[in-house]
Each structure stands twice: as structure tokens, then as C-alpha cells.
Amino acid sequence: MTPKEEAHIRILRAIEKYPDASQRGLARALGVSLGRVNFLLNALVDKGLVKVAAFRKSGDKLNKIVYLLTPEGVADRVRLTSSYLARKEAEYVALKAELKELRKENLDFGSDKGHQR
């Protein structure tokens, strides 16, 4: 998964969880700059993965907007999440095997095997 895909999955998940969050709120939740959130949202809207909708209007003035995942956005989030999970599970299996090998080496080293005095 590329850093761009990781950023997309993070913002798609945040939008799904907090659809009425402002860009500033999303930036805080994701730990990124407001400009980065704006850039990501615009890219996702251009791709048709996120829709911007009016939440509340007062006369001609728009007071609040919401970000909604489109069906394509939901499908993309599921695809990215599946890819992310597969990668993390593979990393977990590799780490578990490495830890097992390190423990074995540590036990071998701790015993008199392989030591010459």
C-alpha cells in the first residue's frame, strides 16, 4: 500500500466515522495539516469517492457541510482495508517467525552449546 493509499484509507475511515466533522476537525483527528485534508478531500471528491452535501442552510448562507462516502467510496474503503489487513497479517506472521528464531538463538546462546572457553 502506497503512502497515498494509506492517507486515502485514513480519511475515508474518518469521514465514515465523523461525516459532519469540519476539515479542521478531520485534520486534528488524522494528525495532518488542514491543507493536506483539503487536498485529500478534493482528490476524493474528484474521484467520485466522497460527496459534499449541505447540512444546514440559513438563507443563502451555507453554515455546515457534511462529507459522505459514495457507494464507490465505500467499495474503495473496503478494498483498501482488505489490502491493509493482508499486509499487516503478513507482517505479523513474519514478525512472529523472527521472534521465534530470536528466542531460539537466545536459548542456544545462553546454554553451553556453541560456547568455547
Lowest mean pLDDT among 31-40, 84-93, 102-111: 102-111
Residue 27 lies in a domain: yes
Compute the distance between CA of residue 28 and CA of residue 103 in angstroms, rounded to an integer.
Answer: 41
Compute the distance between CA of residue 46 and CA of residue 102 in angstroms, rounded to an integer.
Answer: 48
Range of 41's domain? 3-110
pLDDT tens digits, one per residue of 50-88: 998 876 666 666 667 788 889 999 998 888 889 889 989
Compute the distance between CA of residue 9 and CA of residue 13 in angstroms, rounded to an integer.
Answer: 6
Model confidence pTM above 0.85: no
The number of folded domains in the chain is 1
Residue 79, SS3?
helix
Residue 35 parent element (H or E)? helix 34-47
Residue 101 lies in a domain: yes
Residue 52 lies in a domain: yes
How many Cα neighbours within 13 Å face the side chain of 17? 11
Residue 71 parent element (H or E)? helix 71-110
Residue 41, SS3?
helix
Residue 92 lies in a domain: yes
Residue 115 lies in a domain: no
Which CATH number do you get for residue 94? 1.10.10.10
Residue 47 has pLDDT above 50, yes or no: yes
Cα 69 vs. chain centroid, distance in angstroms?
Answer: 15
